[in-house]
Each structure stands twice: as structure tokens, then as C-alpha cells.
Amino acid sequence: MEKTYETNTVLIIEDDADMRTLFSRVLELEGYRALQAEDGDAGLRLARQSQVALVILDLQLPGRSGWEVLKELKTDPVLSRIPVIVITASAGVDQRDRALSSGAAEYLTKPISVAALRKACADVLRQKG
């Protein structure tokens, strides 16, 4: 499938600074531009301000939860077309189903390997084209 999106920017919404930095480095090595947000409000602001091809969203965030951020993204007429990879520390099947039925494109459970992150991003962006 042909890639048709106009940007290679990935927005990482994750409160853990080490994780955020690691994800950014991995994605930049893959040729993406990485934007970082440490909470949901900052993430939504960046999503609205920037052309974002993909969002990586932690579900456990301070303040507004990742679930709320996902809902906000998926009910916005413009932002809803951006695929979201949800990341979480909890592996329950119910959570996975809930995330996917809430519009997430992919669901990754921590600890997340570099290979798994790379593959999920490539798969999701390929599907989108």
C-alpha cells in the first residue's frame, strides 16, 4: 500500500521521562520526527498545533488519563484520523479490547522492546496509507 500521509511526525504522550527519551531516540533513528508531551493536556495541544502522523499514548498519565485523551482524539473530526498506539503497564485482555474499540490502532504492554515499538509504528503507518 502506498504511503500517503504528509508528515513523519510521531507524538509521544508519556509521563515517564526515560521512556519518552528512549522512544524518541528509537523513532528518530528510524527517520521519524518525534514530539514529546509529558501529560494529556500538552499532548492534545501538540496534536492540534502540529501535523502528526501517529500518536503513542500512555494510558497511565497524571491528570487527564490516557483513556480521556484517546476519547478526545477520537471524537475530534480532525484529530480522529491520526492512528494511536496505546501503551500500558497492565496487560489485561479487557483493557486491550477496550482500547481497540475506543479507536486505538495498536496496544502494547510494557516493558516494550525497541523491536516491538519499531514494528508497531511501521505497521500502523503502513495501514494508514
CA distance 103 to 2: 22
Is the CA virtual torsion 66, 72, 78, 83 positive or negative? positive
Q: CB-wise, 15 or 68, nearer to Mn ion? A: 15
Region binding Mn ion by CB under 5 A among candidate stretches 31-39, 48-56, 60-68, 118-126: 60-68
Q: CB-wise, 58 or 106, nearer to Mn ion? A: 58
Q: CB-wise, 15 or 76, nearer to Mn ion? A: 15
Strands (E), the chain: 9-13, 33-37, 54-58, 84-88, 106-109
- The distance between the two most distant Cα atoms of the chain, rounded to a whole number of Å, is 39
Q: Which of 23, 58, 82, 104 binds Mn ion (CB under 5 A)?
A: 58
Tell me how far, at minimum, the Cβ of 49 lies from Mn ion, in Å: 23
State yes or no: residue 15 binds Mn ion (CB under 5 A). Answer: yes
Q: How many chain residues are in contact with Mn ion, going by CB under 5 A?
A: 3
Helix (H, G, I), strand (E, B) or coil at 56: strand
Closest CB to Mn ion: residue number: 60
- Residue written as grid cell 482500547: 99
> Interface with Mn ion by CB under 5 A: which residues?
15, 58, 60
